[in-house]
Structure 1
Amino acid sequence: MPPIKHSSLDRVLGRIDMLDSVNLTNLVQRLARERSLFEGIFNTLQEGVLVISPSGEIEYANAAAHQLLGQADDSLLGKELWRLVPGLQASLGIEVAAEASSSPPQAGEAGAAALPVMTREFELSYPEPRTVQLYLVPFADQHAGAPRSTVILTDITRTKQSTEERIENERTSSILLLAAGVAHELGNPLNSLTIHLQLINRKLRRLAGEAPAAREVDAVADSIRICEAEVKRLDGIITHFLEAIRPQPPDLRETNLGELLAEVLAFQQRELADREIEVEAETSAGLAPVMADRNQVTQVFFNVIKNAVEAMPPGGHLRIKTHADDEAVYLAFADSGAGIKQEDLTRLFQPYHTTKAGGHGLGLMVVQRIMREHGGQIGIESKEGLGTVVTLRFPRKDRRIRMLAP
C-alpha cells in the first residue's frame, strides 16, 4: 500500500471518527510504517538531531544525538537540553525567546518567528573530549501550540584540530620564510669572520716565539678561541635553521623501523656509554613495515634520543618500546630525566623555544615536520621529577592513505 501524502493524510485525520475498525487499523499500521521509515533515516545520520520544546525539553532524539551526549538509547526524551549542556541556554538567549513564544500563535502569524536561527560551538568532556557545533532552527507545527525547534549537533573535533594545525603550520611557515633571508645574511659575515680569525691565529703563532710578547699573545689567542667557538655555535644554529626551512620531500620506501632504530643506537653507542646512559630497547619481532624516508627518520631518532640523553644526568635510563596495531606502528622513548614543566609542554614545537643551555630550539620542530610529512604524529607526556615519554606514530604500509593533489 503506497504511503499517504500529507494532504491525503490530513483529510483522513479530519474524518477519523467516520472510519470503521478495518480502515482505522490500516491507517494505524501505515502510520507506524512511515514512522519506522523516518526513524531509520534519522538514525543513519552522523549528525545528532533533537526536537525541543520552547522550555528546552527534548521531545525527539536520534541515535547520533544519544551518542554525542553520552546517553543511553531513548534516555534523552523528556530531559532538558539546558541541563545536559550547562551554559548553553544563556549563550543562546533562549530564556527570553521561550517566554516570548509561550502563548500559542494567532492565526496568520508565523509562530516560529519568536526564535531566530542560531549556531554555537561548545566542548563536551563526556563520554570523551570533543568539540560540537550546534545549529538551532525553529519550525511551526499547525497541530501544536508554541513553536518548537530542531537542534542539529555536529562533531567538529577533527575539523577544528585540522584547522588549528593548518593555522599553526601557516604561522610557522611565515616566520621561517621571513627569517630565511636573515639566516642567509648571517652566513656570509660568519664565513668572513672564521677566515680572518684563522689568519690572526696563524700570525699569533709566529709571534709566540718572542718572549716579551708571549703573554700578550696567549691572552689574545684565548680570546680568538672564544670567538671561534661562538662562530661555530652560530654556524650550528644556522645549519639547523636551514634544515628546518628547506625540507626535502620524503623518499618513501618500505622500512622496518626496528632495524633502523638498531642502526641508530649502534652509531650512538659510544656517546651513550660515555654518559653512562643505560639503554633498554624492546623491539617487537616482525614489526609491521612502514613507508618512510630512512635518512629523515634517522634524523628523527637522533633528535629524540639526543634530547632524552641531554635531559638525564650520567647514569640515566632510556627505555624504548615498539608495538603496532591495525592502523599504525608506535615507538615510545621514555627517559628518567627531570621532566618538563607544564608551561613548557605547550611550547615545545615553537621555533627557538628551548629549555636547554646552548640549545637552538629547532630539533623538535624538525621532528614534528618530518612526522607530519610521513602521515604520522609525535606525542609527548612528561611530569616533573618523573621523566618524559616521546611517542612516534607511523601509519602502517598496508593502511596508509595517499592524498591526491587538488
Structure 2
Amino acid sequence: MSQNETDRACLWEDGLRECVLGIVGTGPGFAALLALAAERDLEEFLPPMRLAGVACTAAQAAERGFERRGVVRYESWQELLAAHPDLTVLVDLRQERLGLTDLRKALPPHVSLIDRQAAVFLCALHNLHRAGAHTRTRLDHSRAMLDAVVTQIREDILLLDLGGRVLDMNPHVFQRTGRPKDALVGLPCWQVQTLARGVPFCPEPCADCPVQATLRTESKAEARMTRVSPGGELLYFRVYSYPIFDERGDLVRIMVMRRDITARTRLERERQQAEKLSVVGEMSMYLAHEIRNPLCAIGGFITALGRSPNLDAADREKVDIILAETRRLDTMLTSVLNFARPAAPGRSDADAQALLREAAELMRIGYSGQGFTFATQAEPGLPRAACDPDRLKQCLVNLLKNAMEAMPDGGEIGLCARRQDDMVALEVRDQGRGMSPRELDQAFSPFRSTKAGGYGLGLAMIRKIMDEAGGDVRIASTQGQGTTVTLLVPAVLSTSWSLSPAPEILDDTLPRAEEPAPADAPGAPDDRN
C-alpha cells in the first residue's frame, strides 16, 4: 500500500466530517444510540453525530419519551429517508429481521446500514466511553489533588532516577533558580537545589546525602543539614529521601524532599537556652550560699598569710598564686551570678542614636591608638527604644569589644541605628575572619567560648537582656568577610502619635551619613563569647 493510500485508509479522514444518524425501531441498544448521538466528548474517537429521527410506532415513541427528549418520529424508514436526504447511517433495531434485505437494497449508496448485531459494537463503545469518562474524572480529581498538594507544600520536592538526575520537580525548586523547568530536568540533583539568590545548596556531590543512603539501603533516609545564607545567617534544613518501587519490587525512582526548619530550630534553641538559664539560676543560689562564703574566708586567710614576714621567696610565690586563683574564682562566680540574676527595674526607654554615639566615642577614646576606626550611621526620626539605656549600652560595648578582638590588626567597625518594622535595630559589624557554621550554631549557648579565659557568657548575656526587653538579637557571618550582630529593641509607643500612615523612613530622599551596607557585608566578631 502506498503512502497516499495509507493516508486515505480511514473514511473519517477522507472527508466524513459528520454522521447523520437515522434509527428504525426502538429495540435493545436504542438508549445507547441516543446517548452516543448526544455525546460531544466522543468527537476525538468518532465523527460528530447528529440524530435525524426515528422510524417507529406512536406507542413506541410514547414509551421512549420522544417528546421529552426532542426526538422526531417518522412513520416509516421511507418517510425518514425522504425527509433527510443527507442521512449517512441507518441503524435497524427492529425485533424482526423481515425486510432487512429489501431495506439494504433500497438505501442510496451513500447511506450505510447497521443491523442489530452490528449495533452491539456501538453499544459497547458507549459503555466503554462511560467507563473511560468515569476513570478520567477520577484521574482528574487525583491529579488536581496531587497538583494542589505538591504546589502548595512549601518544601522542595524532586523526583530522581537511580543516577541522581532530576526527572521532575515542584515549582518551588525551579522558581528559586530563576530558570525554566525544562532547563533543569536531566541535571544532577546537587546542581538543581539552591538557596536564595541562586546560591547552590550543594557546591559538589555529597557522600552523606540521604539519596546515597537510599540507593544503598533501598529504604527511607533523612539528614539534618546546615548552610550559610548569602546574608551570612545560619540556615537549618531537614532532607528526606524516599524509595519508589515498581510492581516487581525493584527500586526505580527516588523522591527527595527538602524542608527549611530554620525558624523551628531557632525556637527550639531558644527554649533549650531558657532551660539552661533556669538551671544556671538554681545553680547560682547554691554557689552563692555554699561556695562564696568559704571562698571569702580562703581569700582573707591567704591575704593575711601573704603579709607574714616569715615567708621565704618560694612560699610567697605560692601564696600569690593561691590568692590570684581565689580572685579568679570570685570573678567567675560574680559573672555567673550576674548572668542568672533577674534584671533590676530601670528606665524603660533609651535614645538609640545617642547610645550608639556614646558607645562609639567610648571605644574611640580607649582604643584609637590601636588602629580602630568607628563609622556610625543613624536614620533620622528614630523612635526611642523600649529598653533600659544602661543595659542597652552594655550590650553595644560588649559587641564592640568582641568586634575588636575579631580584628587584631585593627580596621573599621561599623555601627548603624535604623528602624525595622516596629523595632529599633542597632547593628555592629566588623571585618574579621567571620564565624564557621558550628560557631554560629553555638553562638548563644552559655558557657561556650573560643576566647582564652572566657566564660562563654557574652552573647548569652546579650540575648538575656534582649529577651527581657521583648527584643531579639541576630547574627549574620561569612567566613573571611566578617560578622554583623543586630540588636532588635521594641520601639516606644506613644498615644500622642498620629494614627495616619507614617512616611516611609527608608525614603532615599532622607539624608544619610553613608549608604547602608548590603545584607552580606562584613559584620560582627568571629568570637561572640
Same fold (TM > 0.5)? yes
> What SS does the aligned partner of 2:399 have?
helix
Matched ranges for 1:7-406 at <5 A: 21=48, 39=147, 42-50=150-158, 60-67=168-175, 72-73=180-181, 75=183, 77=185, 86=205, 87-93=209-215, 118-121=220-223, 123=225, 131-134=237-240, 136=242, 138=244, 152-163=257-268, 166-167=271-272, 170=275, 174=279, 178=283, 181-182=286-287, 184-196=289-301, 231-248=326-343, 253-264=348-359, 271=366, 279-308=374-403, 318-326=413-421, 329-334=424-429, 351=447, 353=449, 355-356=451-452, 359-373=454-468, 374-379=470-475, 381=477, 389-394=483-488, 397=491
Residues 291, 16 of structure 1: alpha-carbon distance in 2 compared, 3 angstrom cutoff:
farther
- Whether the aligned pair in 2 keeps the contact of 1:82 and 1:89 (CA below 8 Å) is no
Shift of 1:242: 0.8
Q: Distance in 2 between matches of 1:21 and 1:314?
A: 86
Shift of 1:246: 2.9
Q: Distance in 2 between matches of 1:290 and 1:379?
A: 20
Residues 340, 195 of structure 1: alpha-carbon distance in 2 compared, 3 angstrom cutoff:
farther
Shift of 1:187: 1.1
Shift of 1:185: 2.9
**Which consecutive unaligned segments of at least 5 residues does structure 1 have?**
1-11, 98-115, 205-212, 400-406
- Whether the aligned pair in 1 keeps the contact of 2:154 and 2:172 (CA below 8 Å) is yes
Q: Distance in 2 between matches of 1:17 and 1:47?
A: 39
Percent identity at matched positions? 21
Task: Deviation per CA, 1:89-124: give whole Å up to 9, x if none.
Answer: 431137x86xxxxxxxxxxxxxxxxxx6x2423649
Paired position in structure 2 for 1:108 = none
Shift of 1:188: 0.7
Shift of 1:355: 2.7
Q: Distance in 2 between matches of 1:196 and 1:174?
A: 32
- Whether the aligned pair in 2 keeps the contact of 1:290 and 1:394 (CA below 8 Å) is no
Q: What letter is aligned with 2:222?
A: R
Moved more, 54-63 or 286-295: 54-63
Q: Distance in 2 between matches of 1:90 and 1:81?
A: 11
Task: Deviation per CA, 1:271-324: give whole Å up to 9, x if none.
Answer: 457989654433332235544343432321232234456677899765433344
Q: Distance in 2 between matches of 1:150 and 1:68?
A: 19
Moved more, 290-299 or 190-199: 190-199
Q: Distance in 2 between matches of 1:359 and 1:71?
A: 48
Shift of 1:366: 1.5
- Whether the aligned pair in 2 keeps the contact of 1:354 and 1:360 (CA below 8 Å) is no
Equivalenced residues, count = 349
**Which consecutive unaligned segments of at least 5 residues does structure 2 have?**
1-38, 50-125, 194-204, 494-529
- Whether the aligned pair in 1 keeps the contact of 2:355 and 2:389 (CA below 8 Å) is yes
Residues 54, 300 of structure 1: alpha-carbon distance in 2 compared, 3 angstrom cutoff:
closer
Residues 268, 229 of structure 1: alpha-carbon distance in 2 compared, 3 angstrom cutoff:
farther
Q: Distance in 2 between matches of 1:17 and 1:189?
A: 96
Shift of 1:184: 4.3
Q: What letter is aligned with 2:237?
A: T
Instruction: Give the TM-score, by structure 2 length.
Output: 0.47
Q: Distance in 1 between matches of 2:329 and 2:339?
A: 15
Residues 354, 236 of structure 1: alpha-carbon distance in 2 compared, 3 angstrom cutoff:
farther
Residues 389, 186 of structure 1: alpha-carbon distance in 2 compared, 3 angstrom cutoff:
same
Q: Distance in 1 between matches of 2:228 and 2:401?
A: 38
Shift of 1:363: 2.9
Q: What letter is aligned with 2:223?
A: E
Q: Distance in 2 between matches of 1:178 and 1:68?
A: 48
Residues 191, 69 of structure 1: alpha-carbon distance in 2 compared, 3 angstrom cutoff:
same
Q: Distance in 2 between matches of 1:168 and 1:83?
A: 37
- Whether the aligned pair in 1 keeps the contact of 2:214 and 2:241 (CA below 8 Å) is no
- Whether the aligned pair in 1 keeps the contact of 2:160 and 2:255 (CA below 8 Å) is yes
> What SS does the aligned partner of 1:331 have?
strand
Coordinate RMSD, CA, aligned? 5.8
Q: Distance in 2 between matches of 1:360 and 1:122?
A: 29
